Structure 1
Amino acid sequence: MTTFFRLLESSVDLKGTHLRDAVASLRDLNQAPPSQGSPILERDPTTFLALPGTPFAYWLNDSIREVFKSLGKFGEDGRKAVVGLKTSDDSRFVRLHWEVPLSPIGERRWVVFAKGGAFSPYYSDHQTVVGWMGDGAQLWAYYEANRARTGGMIKNPDFYFRAGLTWPLRAHRFAPQALPKNCIFSLRGYCAFVPEGDLLWTLAVFNSSVFDFLFKTTLGRFGYPEFIVGQLLRLPWLRPDSDIAERLGQLARRAWSLQRFFSTRAETSCAFLLPPGLNENITCVDQGAIERELRSIQQEIDEAAFKLYGIGLEDRVAIEAFSTRAAASDASEEEQTDENRADEDDAPVDAGANALNSWLVGVAFGRFDPRLATGERPTPPEPEPFDPLASRSPGMWPEGEEPAQRADILVDDEGHDDDLASRARAVAERVHVHLPEKLRSWLAREFFPLHIKMYSKSRRKAPIYWQLATPSASYSVWLYIHAFNKDTLFRVQNDYVAPKLAHEERRLESLTNELRDNATAVQRKELAAQQVFVEELRAFLEEVKRVTPLWNPNLDDGVIINFAPLWRLVPQNKAWQKELKSTWDALCGAKYEWAHLAMYLWPERVVPNCARDRSLAIAHGFANVFWVEGSDGKTMTRKTPTRSVDELVRERTSPAVKAALKSLIEAPVANGNGGRGRTGRSRSTAATEGEDA
C-alpha cells in the first residue's frame, strides 16, 4: 500500500500545517482506517492498471474503478473519435463564412470548418469555412508538395461531411457540441461519430458531469486538460434503455435549441435572426428563463447519467465537488489558451445600440430582412441540430426574395438619394426603433472601427461594409462586399466622388464671391472649412482614380487581400490602414501567389510559379497546362506545357493595369513617411524590385 496526502482544499498558507498534521496522524492508522474526508488516502498502486493510460488517480475509490473495469469502451461497436484537417496555411485556405460568396458554401467550394473554438456545450456557432474546391484539390496538392515540412494534413477525410459531435481541444470541462452534416473538422476540433440515431443521447451523456469526471480521470488532471481522442475511445460506455435514451435525446435537443438562441442575436452568426431588443420582441424569449431552463436540463442529464453508470450518492457528491473546484481553479488558465486568444478581439461590440445600428446598416444595404422585425415575414422554423448549415442566416433576405433595388454603394452625403444615415433612419422608422440625433457622426467616425472588431474572429479581420473616406471622414463612400463588382470603383469615381467634388467646388466659389473683404470671423471660418473640405475631396478623388484600374475583386481571395490595394483610401482609420498596407506589401513581395489579385497584377511572376507549384496551378486554372498524371497515377510536370508561359503572361498583362500599379507603388505618402523606408521609396517598390524592405 502507498499513502497519499490530498490537500487540494487547503489554502496555500495552510497547506504546510495541514500536511504536518496529516503526517503526525499516520501513527493512528494502525488503530482505524482514514475517515471519510480525511486528507490521507491509502491505495494499492497496482489498481491504477485498471484505468486507461494508467493515470496516477489515487483519489478514485473502488466503486469508481469498477466502472472502468466492468463496462465496455466507447471505441467499440463502430464508434469513432478522430482528428481532422490541418491546412498548414490558414491565410490561404480558411475564411470567415461571411467573407466568401454566399451560394458556394453549400456546393462544397467553401465548407464549414469546425476548429474547436471556445467552451460552448451542446451548440456552437461555426464561423470559419475552408476551401474545398474540386474536392480539396489545392489542399491535396499543397500537402503533396510540403509533406516533409507539414507532416500529415488531411486526416480522416472519410469522416468529413458526416454528422458528429465536436469539441475544443482544451476546456475547463468536456462539453461537446453538435456538428452538422456537410462540415469538415480540424486538427484541434476533435470529432466523435456514432450512428445517427444515437447522436442526441450521446451528446447528453458526453455533457454530463460523470462523463467529464471519467474523462479527466484518465487524463491525470482536472484543471483545463486536453480532451484527446485516444483517451475518449477507451472510456467506459454503455447504451441506456430505449426510454432513457429517448429522454436524454430530448433534453440534448432542447439544450441545443436554448444555446442556439444566444447566437440568433449576433449578426455574424449562421443562426442570426434579429439584434437584441427586436429579437426578443419577435421571439418573446427571456434570457433569464433560458438560463434557468438550461440549469434544470443539466441537472436532469446529470441525474440520468449518474444512474446509468451506477454512481451512488456519496460518489456523486465527491464528483460534483471535484468538478466545481477544477472549474474555479483554472479560470485564469482558460483565458490564456489558444482557442480563447484566437477570439480575443471578440469584445462585446455586438450588443445594445451598436448591434441595432449595425443591423440598420445591413438592412440599408439589402443584406438583412426588416420584415422579420415588422411581422410581415414569419420567423423561419428552427433547423435540427445536425442539418447542414445554410449559406444565409435566417435574418437575411431569402434567396430570390431580395429587394429589386439593392444598394451597392452608399455615401455620407446629406440630401443624396444614397445617403447611408438617411436610409438607416428610414429603416428605424419602419421597425419603430429610436436612433440618436448624432447618428451621422457616429457612422462617419465610430461605426467602421466597431464593425471591424465585430467581424474579427479566429485571427481574421473581415469587415463586409467598407468605409472609404477623406482623412477627417468629412466625406465617406460605403461599399458592401456581396454587392460590389469590377465596375464598382468606376461608379464611385464617376457617379459619386466627381459630382460631389464639382458641387462643393461650386459652393466654395459661391462663398468666396459672396464674402470677399466683408466677411465676419464666422464667415471666414466657414470659408476656410469649405476650402479644406474641397482639398480633401480633390485628394480623395485622385486616390480613387489611381486605384480604380487595379480593382478586380474576387471574394475567394478573402476580405483583406481584396481591400489591400485600397489602403490609401482609409486614412480616417490608421490602424486598419496599417494592416492593409502590410498586406499590400506582402502581395508585392510575392507572399500570396495563390490569390487571384496576384495573378491580375503580376502575371509575369505568378504564371511561372504555377509551372513549379501544382497547388498554384490549380488555384489559377492551369493544372492541365503544366501538369499531367503519369501511368503510375502520380502527377508530374509536363515536359512540354500545352501552352507556353510567355503566351499565358501576354494574355493576362494589361498596360493600363501596369501603369496604374506603377502609379500606386510610387505614389507619395500623404502624411509622414507612413510606410517608406530610409531611402524614401515605399516598401512595395523595394519588394517588387527584389530588395529588402
Structure 2
Amino acid sequence: MPTFIKLTDYNSSEEKEKGFFDPKNRYVAKQEDFGKIPGSPIAYWVSDRVKEIFEKSKKLGEIAEPRQGLITGDNDRFLKFWYEVDIYNIGFGFSNREEAKESGLKWFPYNKGGDFRKWYGNYEYVVNWKNDGNEIKNFIDNKGKQKSRPQNVSYYFREGLTWTALTSGPFNLRYSNKFIFDAKGPMLFSKIGNIKYLLSFTNCIVTNSFLRILAPTMDYNQGPVYKIPIIFPKSDSTKQKIEELTQECIDISKEDWDSRETSWDFRTNELVRIMNYEFLMLNESKKNNSKSKIQNLTLETIYNRYCEYWREKFFKLHSNEEELNRLFIDIYELQDELTPDVPLDEITILKEETKIVDGDLVFNKDAIVKQFISYAVGCMFGRYSLDHEGLHIADMGVSIEEANSKFNIQNSTFTIDDDNIIPVFEFDFFADDIVSRFKEFLKITFSEKTLYENLSFIADALGKKSSESDEDAIRRYFHKEFYVDHVRRYNKRPIYWMFSSNPKGAGAFNVLIYMHRYYPGIVAKIRTDYLHPYIDKIEFEKNRLQQSIDNDVLSGQTLKKAQNTIDKIEKYLIELREYDVKLKYYADKMIKIDLDDGVKVNYCKFQDILVVFDNKLCTESETEE
C-alpha cells in the first residue's frame, strides 16, 4: 500500500523538512478507500470512521438543494446598498415573485455573500427586480447578447440558508427569508423542513471537517456542499435541543446586526436604548428621588452597562456554539477526532466593537462612542428621531413637517436642522455648528447636569491630546475624522456628504448635508448662507487679532498664538475664495439627483466640491461577468 506524508500544516521549508521525518505525518492508505468519498479526493489522512460516514450516510443534497442565484451582468447598475435608495421603494417581506411584481416596487433584498458571519446578517444590498426583473432579463450588450443570467428564479424569496461561496475562514451560513440571491451568495433550500437543524449542522465543526476534505481550497460552491454527509439524531429531544440553541444563536446574531445603523431593522443606538431602558426602570420604580437618579446617569455608566449586556450575549453565543459542536460530534461519533472548542475570534458578533486580547473580550470604547456620535448626527439631519425608533426621513422630497406628521410628532424632542446644512468648522461661528448641536443632543439624551462629565468621557474615548480641552478634542474629531469614519461605516457609499474647500477633507470650509434631503438650491444656499458669512467672520477675526498686535495688547505666547492664527486665516482666505468660484459654478447648474441612481452616480455630479474619498469612485466599473 502507498505511504503518504502530510506536510500541508507547515509553512516554512525548515518546518516541512522536520515534519517529513516525523512519524505522525505518515499515512498508509488503500487506493480503493478514496472512492468512498464523493469525488474520490486523495484524502489519505481520513480515518476509518469518516470513510464510513461518507460511505453510508445520505448526502446533504438529497434532502436540501444548494442553488446559485442571479448574475446581473452589471452590479453598479442593478445593485445598491439599501441605504442609498428611497426606503419606501424597497420591497421588504414579499414571499414570492408574484407578490413582488404586483407591488410595483423597484428594489428588493439581495444576498451577496459578504464577510465571515454565522447565523444572521450581511444583509446590505437591494437589487432592481421591478416588474419581475424585466430590466435585468432584457439587459443585452451591443451585439444583442444577454449580459445577465437570472438563475433559479423559482427559488427567489423562499426561506433558506445563505453563505459566502469563497472565503478564507470556516464555512458559515446565515438564515435568510424573502430575499433574492446572488451567484456569490448562494442558498440552500430544505426539501424536508428542519431549516434550523440544517443551519446548526452546516455551521458546526463536523461540517467544516468534512469540507476540508471536499473543498480543500475553501471554494464552497454548490458541488462540495451537496456532498456533505448528513445524519439526524436518533432522539427527538436532541433534535429539539439543537433547534432551540440554533434559534438563540439566530436571535443574538440578529440583535447584534440590527444594533448598527447600517441594518434596515436598526431601531436606535445601543447607548440610547440602554439609557431609555434605565429611565423607564427608574420611572416605574417606587424609589424616592428617581428623577435625580435619572439626571445622575452618565454616559460612562451607560457604556459600562452596554459592556455588561453584550459580554453576556457574546459568551452565551460562544457557549451555544460549543454545545452544538458537542451534540454533532456525538451524533457522528467523532469524539476521538474532534473537540467542540470554538476560538473566541470565530464568534461573529461585536466584530467592530470588541477585540480578543489574551483570551478575553475587550471592548473598543472609541468604536462604541463613534456609533453614538453617528446616531446623533443622524438625528440632527432627521434620518432618525428621538421621538420614535427606526428611520424618520429616508426618502426624498419630504419636509420635516410631513415626516413629523406621519409619526404623530407635534413637538420634537430634538430639533432637526431646517436647511439640511450643518457646518463642520475649526472655528465656532454658527448657531447650528455641529459641536454645538452635539452638545445639545447630549443634554437631551442624558442631562444638562452631566454634560461636562459626558464630554470628558467622549473626548477621552476619541483620543484627547494633553494640549486639548474636551470640546477641542471633539471638534477635532468632527473636523478631521468623522467623515472618514462615515465613509467607512457606509462602505464608501456615504449618505452624508461633506462639501469642502479641500478635496482631501478638513479644509478651511466644511459643511455636511444629508443626501435624502437634497434639493437643487442647496449648493447656492451653502455659498450664500455659510461660505460668504464665514469669509466675513474669519476676516473680522483676522482684523481683530491684527489690531490687538498693532496696539501692543498681546505679548509672549498669546502674541505668538495670535500671529499663527492670522497666518492660518490668510491661507484659509485664499482657499475659500477659490472654492467660492467652484461653488458658484455648481450652484448655477441647479443639479437634480435621483436616489435610484445610488450614491456613486449622484456624488460624482459634485466631485469638484465634495471630499474625494476614493480617486477611482467616479471612474471605476464594477461589472460582473
What is the TM-score of this pair, normalised by structure 1? Answer: 0.65
Q: 5 Å matches for 1:252-267? A: 252-267=246-261
Q: Secondary structure at the match of 1:142?
A: coil
Residue of structure 2 in register with 1:41 after alignment: 27
Q: 5 Å matches for 1:190-589? A: 190-194=186-190, 197-219=193-215, 221=216, 225-240=218-233, 242-275=236-269, 277-278=271-272, 282=277, 286-309=309-332, 311-316=333-338, 351-370=367-386, 400=407, 406-407=416-417, 408-412=420-424, 414=428, 416-432=430-446, 433-434=454-455, 435=458, 436-438=470-472, 439-456=474-491, 461-471=492-502, 473-498=507-532, 500=534, 507=540, 536-548=575-587, 549-570=589-610, 573=611, 575-576=612-613, 578-579=615-616, 582-583=618-619
2:124 paired with 1:127 = yes
Cα distance in 2 for partners of 1:158, 1:97 equals 23
1:557 maps to a residue whose letter is D
What's the CA shift for 1:178?
1.0
- Whether contact under 8 Å (1:493, 1:544) holds in the other structure is yes
Q: Secondary structure at the match of 1:568?
A: coil
Shift in CA distance, 490/49, structure 1 to aligned 2, threshold 3 Å: same
Residue of structure 2 in register with 1:102 after alignment: 87
1:542 maps to a residue whose letter is V
Q: State the Cα RMSD in Å.
A: 4.0
What's the CA shift for 1:537?
4.3
2:407 maps to a residue whose letter is G
- Whether contact under 8 Å (1:54, 1:218) holds in the other structure is no
What's the CA shift for 1:60?
2.2
Cα distance in 2 for partners of 1:195, 1:427 equals 52
1:446 maps to a residue whose letter is E
What's the CA shift for 1:176?
0.7
- Whether contact under 8 Å (1:508, 1:531) holds in the other structure is no
Q: Secondary structure at the match of 1:125?
A: coil
Shift in CA distance, 546/175, structure 1 to aligned 2, threshold 3 Å: same
Cα distance in 2 for partners of 1:542, 1:111 equals 42
What's the CA shift for 1:292?
2.2
Gap regions ≥5 residues in structure 1: 23-37, 329-347, 372-376, 381-390, 593-693
- Whether contact under 8 Å (1:266, 1:272) holds in the other structure is yes
Shift in CA distance, 109/508, structure 1 to aligned 2, threshold 3 Å: same
1:97 maps to a residue whose letter is W
- Whether contact under 8 Å (1:350, 1:454) holds in the other structure is no
- Whether contact under 8 Å (2:542, 2:566) holds in the other structure is no
2:155 paired with 1:159 = yes
State the structure with more CA Rg.
Answer: 1
Residue of structure 2 in register with 1:5 after alignment: 5
1:199 maps to a residue whose letter is I
- Whether contact under 8 Å (2:82, 2:125) holds in the other structure is yes
Cα distance in 1 for partners of 2:123, 2:272 equals 24
Among candidates 174, 178, 189, match of residue 175 of structure 2: 178
Cα distance in 1 for partners of 2:70, 2:405 equals 32
Residue of structure 2 in register with 1:641 after alignment: none
Cα distance in 2 for partners of 1:420, 1:559 equals 23
What's the CA shift for 1:122?
1.0
Instruction: Report % sequence identity.
Output: 22
Shift in CA distance, 412/118, structure 1 to aligned 2, threshold 3 Å: closer
Q: Secondary structure at the match of 1:559?
A: helix
Cα distance in 2 for partners of 1:524, 1:537 equals 20
| Farther-moved stretch of structure 1 (207-216 vs 11-20) | 11-20
What is the TM-score of this pair, normalised by structure 2? Answer: 0.71
What's the CA shift for 1:426?
0.4
What's the CA shift for 1:50?
2.0
Cα distance in 2 for partners of 1:123, 1:21 equals 43
Shift in CA distance, 299/398, structure 1 to aligned 2, threshold 3 Å: farther
- Whether contact under 8 Å (1:349, 1:450) holds in the other structure is no
Residue of structure 2 in register with 1:168 after alignment: 164
Cα distance in 2 for partners of 1:168, 1:542 equals 48
What's the CA shift for 1:576?
2.7
Cα distance in 1 for partners of 2:81, 2:219 equals 26
Cα distance in 2 for partners of 1:263, 1:366 equals 22
Q: Secondary structure at the match of 2:163?
A: strand
Q: 5 Å matches for 1:631-642? A: none
Cα distance in 1 for partners of 2:182, 2:575 equals 48
Cα distance in 2 for partners of 1:89, 1:360 equals 36
Shift in CA distance, 117/526, structure 1 to aligned 2, threshold 3 Å: closer
- Whether contact under 8 Å (1:368, 1:397) holds in the other structure is no
Shift in CA distance, 538/316, structure 1 to aligned 2, threshold 3 Å: closer
